[in-house]
Amino acid sequence: MKISTESNQTAFAVPLKGPGRLWTELSILFRIQCAIVRDSWAWVVLMGTMFPLSTVLFMKFFAENPSEEMMIRIIAGNLIFGVIVMGMNSMGQEISWQKHEGHFTYYASLPISKMNFVLANLFRGLLNTIPSFILLGLIGQLIYGIQFHYSWGLPLVVILSLASVVGIGVCIGFWSPNHQLTNMLVQALMLLVTFLSPVMVEIHQLPLPLQWLSYIFPTTYAADAMRNVLVTGWSGGVMLDCVVLLGYSLVTIVLINKMVNWRVKN
């Protein structure tokens, strides 16, 4: 059997430095993450859609004669809820599990930079959350007969919302001292930022201490930006929320890069 040498020739042709090396590393790591998501895409879609959709239906039954603006606010909150479930909860637990099972040891033997490995895991978090995000938006419009305001700023709000929240889940997963603590932490944080912050409700409906506390969570700015851009389109308030979300995303990337340990310390 004749063995093709094309792949070896391609590998030797890979530049060792500069943007070419960066692109080669990222493309390989991104394809690995896509392969992981491909094997579990049905579970990802089910888990990412079931909880937010159940909440949307519950809120519809709970509120009598809700206005279109109210339903858009509820759907926008549930879009962020889906990101919290898949980006913060699931990614935190999965990365923690991989770390304590020793999966990262294989990556430690590869000539890749830690930052590229971090970006690849953030990319997988985005892949996990995008299906539920799109499905829930389409189902919400179809069931309740409402129409979102589509503007050029909507994709920017979506990407920054995903990046800021997914970054927290990835950060917790890499920090994880043990898997049990990670499970408790991400689930407690998920409930806190979903039901005790202005994701599902307006901020003035919360007690004053919770209003102050909510300003430290990126979900507060993500939910506010999502509601406003879906109701009125791009505005100064949405731009300010996006600047804050960009700051959260950059900070979490730096923190994750410092926290990544290829092996569990005893």
209 pLDDT above the threshold of 70: yes
Q: According to the model, what pLDDT value does residue 51 have?
A: 72
Q: According to the model, what pLDDT value does residue 16 have?
A: 60
What's the pLDDT tens digit per position in 113-161? 877 887 887 788 778 778 877 887 887 778 777 777 788 888 888 888 8
How far is residue 266's CA from residue 127's CA, in Å, rounded to a whole number? 33
* AA identity, residue 191: L
Q: Please check whether residue 260 is in contact with residue 116, taking contact to mean a CB–CB distance below 8 angstroms.
A: no
Output the pTM of the full model.
0.77
Residues 71-75: contacts with CB under 8 Å, at least 24 apart: 71/140, 71/144, 71/146, 72/146, 72/148, 72/227, 72/230, 72/231, 73/202, 73/227, 73/231, 74/200, 75/136, 75/137, 75/140, 75/144, 75/146, 75/230
**Closest alpha carbon to 140 in 196, 80, 199:** 80
Residues 6 or more apart whose CB falls under 8 angstroms from that of 81 comprise 51, 52, 55, 194, 199, 200
What's the pLDDT tens digit per position in 17-36? 677 788 888 888 888 888 88
What's the pLDDT tens digit per position in 57-79? 776 666 666 677 777 777 888 78
Q: According to the model, what pLDDT value does residue 3 have?
A: 43
Average pLDDT of the residues in 229-249: 89
* AA identity, residue 107: Y
Average pLDDT of the residues in 27-55: 79
